[in-house]
Amino acid sequence: MPAQLLIKNTLTTKFLSRIKKEDRLHPVITLIVYWGEDDWQGAKSLHDILDFGADPVLAQEIKQLIPEYPLHFLNLSEVHNYSHYRTESRTLFELYARRKDKAAFTQYVNEHDECRRMDVETYWALRILVNMPKLKKIIPQSERTEKDMGNIFEDAMEEGLQQGKLTTLYDLVRDGLLSIRDAAIKASMTETDFTNEMHKAGY
């Protein structure tokens, strides 16, 4: 390539990108957090979502020309050791792992002071992950006491467990495996109230 053309291309690239040759970019790490109960069915890398054609030989050659981009993937149903996390994510994930066991959940809250110092964003994420609607009623951090936070978690856990129980009963009634009368009895509700709540839930 002629020197004049090379210089022109270099200047054009610098002008368009505004990046000098001595500049360096900060790396960005993408982490996919999956909290579903079923096995992950989606792609785990760039190659998983590309169609390289039916010819296996040609497909292999094309793959070698396209850089692979594996996804950093965290399946909360499979991972149980979060000791290497150093932010509030650790508290969030460890509470999520105890979402089906009220005793273990409550014990964790009682034994970890960081639960009483969590920021609003982490509380919001926890409310969504463990299906605890009452967690949206968060006391401002500057006004919290340990008793306040204990009550919030206790009430929220109770509501989350009850909501999970109701969802299971709704599914059984919808699938014809349980009558509304029996479901209402199990939920300690009248048939009318149970039916109304079931409709509110979109069933």
In this predicted model, what pLDDT tens digit does every residue of 25-35 receive, in sequence order?
A: 888 888 888 88
Residue 199's pLDDT band (boundaries 50, 70, 90)?
A: confident
Residue 61's pLDDT is 93
Residue 57's pLDDT band (boundaries 50, 70, 90)?
A: very high
Listed in sequence order, the residues at least 6 apart from 62 whose beta carbon sits closer than 8 Å to its beta carbon are 52, 53
| 74 plus 99 within the same structural domain | no
Q: Which domain holds residue 61?
A: 14-79
- Quote the mean pLDDT of the chain: 75
| 97 plus 122 within the same structural domain | yes
Q: Cα(49)–Cα(51) distance, rounded to whole angstroms?
A: 7
Burial class (CB in 10 A: 0-12, 13-18, 19+), 42: exposed
Per mean pLDDT, which range of 76-90, 167-181, 186-200 is the poorest? Answer: 167-181
How many domains does the structure of the chain reveal? 2
| 60 plus 90 within the same structural domain | no
| 74 plus 94 within the same structural domain | no
Tell me, yes or no, whether 4 lies in a domain.
no
**Token output for 199:** 């409709």
| 162 plus 75 within the same structural domain | no
| 20 plus 111 within the same structural domain | no
**What's this model's pTM, rounded to 2 decimal places?**
0.50
Residue 17's pLDDT is 65
Residue 7 has pLDDT above 80, yes or no: no
Tell me, yes or no, whether 121 lies in a domain.
yes
Tell me, yes or no, whether 160 lies in a domain.
yes
